[in-house]
Chain A
Amino acid sequence: MLYREVGEFKTSYAQDSHTFPIKFDRYRYYFVIIVGLLFIPFIINDYWANAVFLPFLIYAIAALGLNILTGYCGQVSLGTGGFMAVGAYASYKFMTAFPDLNIFFVIILSGFVTAFVGTLFGLPSLRIKGFYLAVATLAAQFFLIWLFNKVGWFYNYSATGMITAPSRSVGSFFITGSESTPAAKYLFCFLFVFLLAWIARNLTRGKIGRSWMAIRDMDIAAEIIGVNPLIAKLSAFAISSFYVGVAGALFFSVYLGAVEPTEAFSIQKSFIVLFMVIIGGLGSIFGSFAGAAFMVLLPVALKNLLVLQFGWSVDIAAHFEFIIIGGLIIFFLIVEPHGLAQLWNLLKQKLRIWPFPY
């Protein structure tokens, strides 16, 4: 009824190429942006920021990045944790070496550093494919973490090898460090998520995104019709790593404030982000968000449900969390192997013809 194409007349090319062609979708999108931008910052507190929104937004960026590489370009990567570490350590080095540099540019620059490193580790993708590439990126993961443990320069020779984010602000609002407010941190991350998701959406439906998808679907055919695999694959690695690097920089500087490489950016991180992309939906912007929400918010929600509502003891609840989330992952992948994004699409298809399905 509400959700339909009928009656929407596109009178210009700009209207025709809307990201959200259906009015209802478009308004929903505006609604989310307005709530996120104008409503949440006023009610957010430390708990909501640090336990719910910041991890969700930051993992969403990482999932977007990996989705560009794996979902759109078809290059499997297990190096996400390592690349996040590159972003984190780059931001630490920038923050301590240039104390006057605005944190916004620190994050962007860290993204570029990661893009460069990602491109280097993307070079093997020109020769190897599939599982073999996954192993090559796995090497990146282990090498980078080893490097950040081994070379003192990266952590400014601190006694424990931990890096700690100094206080940095945008204008008079502290974003990192102990004086930062939850609203400022949230808005800062929200801004990055908004910009990066917008860019990702437009990249993936433009020329470069089409060349990625051509490579993903059949690289030989793509090459024959004139897609340059070198440019397509390396650009996917570079842009994906940029996203992951920004996520890593935010993860360290805004969210946690202090990290050590082995724990914060272990192979576990790579898997979690990969699961987000697979559960959310490969090759879907919405899927990156859905996957991040599933993997980040669900455990917190479950914990609060089991411990605070049902009064279970914390360890039993923690064990049940694993069981329930594992079960849900299996359930969703059986019901819809293409992820939550595909479920969402099916729902929309049904809504379009509701209440008179044919």
Chain B
Amino acid sequence: MNFKKTIFSALATLFLVSPVLAELVFPSLSYRTGPYGPNGIPFADGYEDYFTLLNERDGGLGGEPIRVVKCETAYNTEKGVECYESTKGEGSLVYQPLSTGITYQLIPKSAADSIPILSSGYGRTSGRNGKVFKWVFNFPGTYWDAASIATKHAMDMSGGSLEGKKIALVYHNSAYGKEPIRTLEALSEKHKFELSLLPVDHPGQEQKSQWLQIRRERPDYIFMWGWGVMNSVAIQEAANIRFPMENFIGVWWSGSENDVLPAGEAAHGYKSLAMHAPGDNFPVYDDMRKYVIDKGLGAGDGSNVGTVLYSRGMYAAIMATEAAKTAQKIHGVSKITPTMMRDGLENLEMSEEKMAAIGIAGFSPTFKATCENHGGQGSAAIQQWDAKKGTWSFITEYMNSDASVIEPLILADSSQYAAENNIKERCN
């Protein structure tokens, strides 16, 4: 009888979501399964562990405990929507889906539900224009910044001019991979280089024909917008055709240990963009080990601590919690709502002092969000892989993107969105 009752109550609540509690809720739309799981796991570990660290060390944020609501998206947009709908009722403060496709789905939904989205270094680039996208934030940098900075680095390598050079873009054939094309086209006109586009279909294991074409075309530089297994396959293929690795530059999503380790020694010299420093030589990692990992409270098995994507996830959580602190300060309450959270994101300033206080001095570029600018100053550095030592290291300072190319593109794309959806510009 009792068993039957349990079954009935279980069935009745199958489709229901649990009740709202008085905490700061940060949903983690992670993917630990599916073809992109190997990259999703370290990110999710870093993201969730940082909240655990705050709870363990500081007792939450401003005295309010943090609750992380987890939902598995498998990098699939339909599941992403299901996750969003099932978690938004719990008082979720900000969404960070780590998927450009899911971000595109959530942009109109989150505006209707008044919940901000923070898509750091992914998502819709024109979301940077805060005049149109009130609820979308993508600091510290966008794909278009990345494209511009990669081009800049290529230009530095070839002595200040790219005229007559050939650049090939190997990209994931999805909204994510296609994002930089428009900017690179504009840049190719400006700097007079030849651009060739080589799409790689999901999940990216099959790239033989693309690399055959690269062998035929002999580009001077290859840029890559890849994710998941596509990255390591591409690096392996580049090694197979003996492409000079220092001329192969990936976006910040193609520059983790997972991507270069499978190719072994051959990956030596591969470069990628970086929006934060590699390695775990930061005070925050000491706390992380002391309060979270060594106590066995880590979200994962601990093997990813200190990797690039773990740091990326941690950085995403840092920006979210700093924005929440800013919101608490602005509104003078500790229990903030998503709308207050949005104000916090819009007024977020990551200064050197603030980063030093968190224990990540010099970890990432400084930026300041404003009403108009939701994307930060758009700076990134170039990091290079040393296969012998097995470490990434910075080879440049943080560089700024070419605003003269990107600004008009962002304006055009966002005003098209505003026109299609009858959005009035803010901040005037």
Q: Find residues 52-101 in chain B having any chain A CB closer than 8 Å to their own CB.
A: 70-72, 74, 76-78, 81-82, 85-86, 88-89, 100-101
Tell me what chain A mostly uses at the interface: helix, strand, loop, or mixed. Answer: helix
A149-B173 in contact given A159-B181, A159-B413 (Cβ < 8 Å) = yes
Q: B30 to A314, Cβ gap below 8 A?
A: yes
Question: Distance in Å from the Cβ of A353 to the closest Cβ of chain B?
Answer: 28
Contact of A51 among B82, B104, B182 (CB under 8 A): B82
Query: Which chain B positions have C-beta within 8 A of A55?
Result: 78
Q: Are A257 and B108 in contact (CB under 8 A)?
A: yes
> B101 and A260: CB pair below 8 A?
yes
Q: Give how many A residues have a beta carbon under 8 Å from the other chain's beta carbons.
A: 42
How does the 8 Å CB contact mask read for A96-120 relative to B, with 1 for contact and 0 for none?
1000000000000000000000000
Tell whether, in the assembled complex, residue B202 and residue A50 are in contact, meaning their CB atoms are under 8 Å apart: no
CA distance A125 to B72 in the complex (A): 41
In the complex, chain B residues whose CB is within 8 Å of the CB of A51: 81-82, 85-86
The yes or no answer to B268 lying at the interface (CB within 8 A) is: no
Q: Which of A52, A149, A307, A318 contacts B33 (CB 8 A)?
A: A318
| Contact, CB under 8 Å: A305 / B14 | yes
B299: nearest chain-A partner, CB-CB: A313
* A342 CB-CB contact with B under 8 Å: no
- Provide the residues of chain B in CB contact with A177, threshold 8 Å: 108, 421
Interface residues of B in 392-410 (CB under 8 A from A): 409
Per-residue 0/1 for B95-116: is the Cβ within 8 Å of any A Cβ (1 yes, 0 no)? 0000011001101110111000
State whether the Cβ of A300 lies closer than 8 Å to any Cβ in chain B.
Answer: yes
Checking B15, B72, B76, B85 against A317 with a beta-carbon cut-off of 8 angstroms, the contacting residue is B72
Question: In the complex, A263 Cα to B100 Cα: how many Å?
Answer: 12
Assess the B77–A308 pair: CB atoms within 8 A.
no
The verdict on B38 contacting chain A, using a C-beta distance below 8 Å, is no
* CB atoms of A166 and B420 under 8 A apart: yes
- Give Cα A159–Cα B143 distance, bound, in whole angstroms: 12
Residues of A within 8 A of B173 (CB): 149, 262
Q: Does chain B have a CB within 8 A of A288?
A: no
Please state if B78 and A314 are interface contacts (CB–CB under 8 Å): no
User: Which residue of chain B has the shortest Cβ distance to A162 in the bound complex?
Assistant: B175
User: Cα distance A55–B81 when bound, in Å?
Assistant: 11
B279 to chain A, nearest CB (A): 27
User: Which B residues lie within 8 Å of A256 (CB)?
Assistant: 77-78, 81, 105
Shortest Cβ gap from A9 to chain B (Å): 40
Distance A131 CA – B189 CA, assembled complex (angstroms): 49
Smallest CB separation, A88 vs chain B (Å):
13
- A149 to B33 alpha-carbon distance, docked (Å): 26
List residues 380-428 of chain B with CB under 8 A from any CB of chain A.
409, 413, 417, 420-422
A36 to B100, CA, bound (A): 35
* A161-B175, A262-B173, A315-B72 as given contacts; A166 in contact with B182, CB under 8 Å: no
Query: Given the complex of chains A and B, what is the CA–CA distance between A178 and B420 in angstroms?
Result: 12
- Whether, in the assembled complex, A325 has its beta carbon less than 8 Å from a beta carbon of chain B, the answer is no
B104 contacts A47, CB within 8 Å? Answer: no
Known: A257-B105, A315-B32. A179 touches B112 (CB 8 A): yes
Our pick among A149, A258, A301, A304 for the contact of B105 (Cβ within 8 Å) is A258
Residues of A within 8 A of B74 (CB): 318
Q: Tell yes or no: B17 within 8 A of A by CB.
A: yes
Q: Which residues of A have CB within 8 Å of B16?
A: 304, 308
For residue A325, give the distance in angstroms from its CB to the closest CB of chain B. 14
A181 to B179, CA, bound (A): 31
B158 nearest CB across to chain A (Å): 27
Q: Scan A295-308; emit 1 where CB is below 8 A from any B CB, else 0.
A: 00000110111011
Question: Are B13 and A309 within 8 A (Cβ)?
Answer: yes
Bound complex: CA of A167 vs CA of B420, how far in Å? 8
- Contact, CB under 8 Å: A301 / B15: yes
Q: 8 closest pairs, A vs B, by CB?
A: A315-B32, A178-B108, A160-B175, A178-B112, A314-B72, A51-B82, A47-B85, A318-B72
Residues of B within 8 A of A (CB): 10, 13-18, 30, 32-33, 70-72, 74, 76-78, 81-82, 85-86, 88-89, 100-101, 104-105, 107-109, 111-113, 124-126, 173-176, 178-179, 181-182, 199, 201-202, 409, 413, 417, 420-422
**Could you list some 13 contacts between A and B, CB below 8 A?**
A50-B82, A149-B173, A159-B125, A160-B104, A160-B176, A162-B104, A166-B420, A167-B422, A178-B109, A256-B78, A258-B108, A301-B15, A318-B33
A residues contacting B by CB (< 8 A) are: 46-48, 50-52, 55, 96, 149, 159-162, 164, 166-167, 177-179, 256-260, 262-264, 266, 300-301, 303-305, 307-309, 313-315, 317-319
